[in-house]
Structure 1
Amino acid sequence: MKNKIFTLLLAGMAIFSSCDSDRDSNPVYNQPETFTLNKPALSDNIFDLNSSSHIWLTCSQPDYGFTAAVTYTLEISLTDDFEKVQVLPTQFTTAKMEVKTNELAVCATNLFIAEGKVKDDFPLQTPLYLRLKAVVTDLKEPVYSNSIEIKTELEYTLPPIEIPKKLYIGGDFCEWNWDNTLEMVPVNGVEGKFWRLIFIPENSSIKLSQTSTEETSAGFAETTINDNYEASVTDNSGKIGFTKGGWYLLVVKAAIEGAELRYTMDINEPAVYLFGPAIGDKWAPEEALKFTVPQIADDFFVSPAFTNAGEVRACVIAEDKDNWWKSEFMVFNNKLEYRGNGGDQARIQGAVGQKLYINFTAGTGKIE
């Protein structure tokens, strides 16, 4: 009998132990309403953002009901209601944060420029309001801390704006996967000018970006659109929306306007031309020299049949008709290669009756 009682006690202890273990491995998630951002040391003093390197901030971790790996971002505003905010680029993963004052200064300058301030209005003394946003991976809702006020001395601080040397297109066509963006082709010798033949699906959108990331992307507000091919472009939640789908030749020029980098996009007919000895020494765009345009993304543009044996040249017009070579390209070993900012490409020979086939989506081609 004693053995039976002892066995039952052991079984009961195992059950309770199992329940405790389950609670530990499956914690109950609590959605916190807020958490505490502490005022920095000497917060009553004026922080000179341009002569110091950093400010230390600390916070209490939001109470999620378990110890979570939290990512913090710091938002700043000129008002305590945070109606307009700037987000510092550096993120933090601990409750003690070394905040770079240069990042604060750049964000604060951007806020004042948005309010109509100009460079001559600086330096100035101003309060800034700070708060943290806490995010845990796989949890949908962010949590915001209380806001704190710091007094600052601010000089005009913006990173130098440069004309991009590369430009990318992201959008619905690549499911907004910025690893699968299209790199635009530089127009030879023209700073900040790029082109690309692209198939854009109906009722879809794109953005431009200096890098193959969304962080440097520019949309409808930052781009002046010249719709020369009835694409019916709209502002689609800040993106450049195309109502009509199909092939387009996009020609983009980047320029610095004041303290901003802006773009002008010409949306043109997807006209590809065959030039050179293989087509009777024709060197200017005309209807008879155009490639046929496919109806889908993954198919060939097809040139007219070669009328002569000799050099094959192909191009779009991204600058002007006399400078067609600034936007030429050719197929080598079944691979499409753009001239871009490079020198003369190797010459490819064609025979009478052959045609040049180019798949601009796949980056392939052939002569046959």
Structure 2
Amino acid sequence: MSVLAKSLVTLVAVLAAPAVAQTVESSAGNLTATVVAEGLDHPWALGFLPDGRMLVTERSGQLRVISEGVVGEPIAGVPAVYNQGQGGLLDLALSPDFATNGRIYLTFAEPAQEAGLQRGQGTAVLSARLVLDGDSGRLEDGKVIFRMNKFTTTNRHFGSRVVIGQDGNLFVTLGERGEQDRAQDVTDLAGAIVRIAPDGSVPPDNPKPEGWAPELWSKGHRNPQGATLRDDGVLFTVEHGARGGDEVNMPKAGANYGWPVISYGVDYSGVTIGEGTQKDGLEQPLHYWDPSISPSGLDFYDGDLLPAWQGDLLAGGLSGELLVRLDMEGDTVVGEERLFSRQLGRIRDVRVGPDGAIYLLTDEDNGRLIRVAPEGL
């Protein structure tokens, strides 16, 4: 049996586990959300292994394998994380050559002492080899290949997603750590998207605007918690605004996306932020939400189960507690569809599986992995 066939068999087999299903109408017909696994501690990110099992990060610091609805024991060798506020173990990505090299990348809030610093915490990226033993295992050859250049004591806005580009380089999204002005400091890696090589070095073709730190790809971001590649290799992100002003962006090399100089939201107190919604030299979002939905998780739909949605963006909502489909025509958002509003809880991650279904993680003490597919499939 081929690797793909095994993957599909395993993903379908999860439906044999005890499940709770919920069905809603959509533009693609009735969709059913089925609970695949539960009992997760604020799960943050999901990845698909070649054999059909799944990897999940828990914000409190565990990396686990899910097999046929069963959550495995924590994988050994995960780095110590700063598990307070919005910090913890965050995103994951599998190397394109994972089947042969077992390499994965993890983003996490790193405590200062682990980084050899005096105080604070910041977003970091670990590269390691995953060795599985049944439904558990260990990380070997782990190395922190990247960390923010300025750690601070705030406990929010770490970002952080990691996406592997078509050239093998890594895009990493970084929040401004709740300190707005850092997003406009081009010597600071906060409030930015950085682009690094798989070993953490700086790709020679990174943009080089005057004064910019060499790792920077784009600046002026508040707290990007979703990122994905289109099939042509172009990066898309979603980020949290303050009170309103959540954004969808297509970050371009060397571009500035404006936070906190421009925004479509206001401060939580109601006070205006910055100078308005537009300014020369600063980029506009492709789409924004007001009021906020707190978008987290992002993926393009490229499966076979929902052909009408091919090429559309899917995003989760935390405060919005929903799944959003953005109808895409080229680089333009031409429509929005809201699904499962207030029915599934806070959606932290969204991934399209190899079986064409949409998989969601809910951010809660008893976090769940949920499969969304056409009714009856």
TM-score tier (shorter)? under 0.3
User: When you count helix as a share of all residues, which structure comes out higher?
Assistant: 1
TM, length-normalised to structure 2: 0.22
When normalised by structure 1's length, the TM-score is: 0.22
Larger Rg: 1
User: Greater relative contact order: 1 or 2 (C-alpha under 8 angstroms, separation 6 or more)?
Assistant: 2
The structure with the greater share of residues assigned to strand is: 2
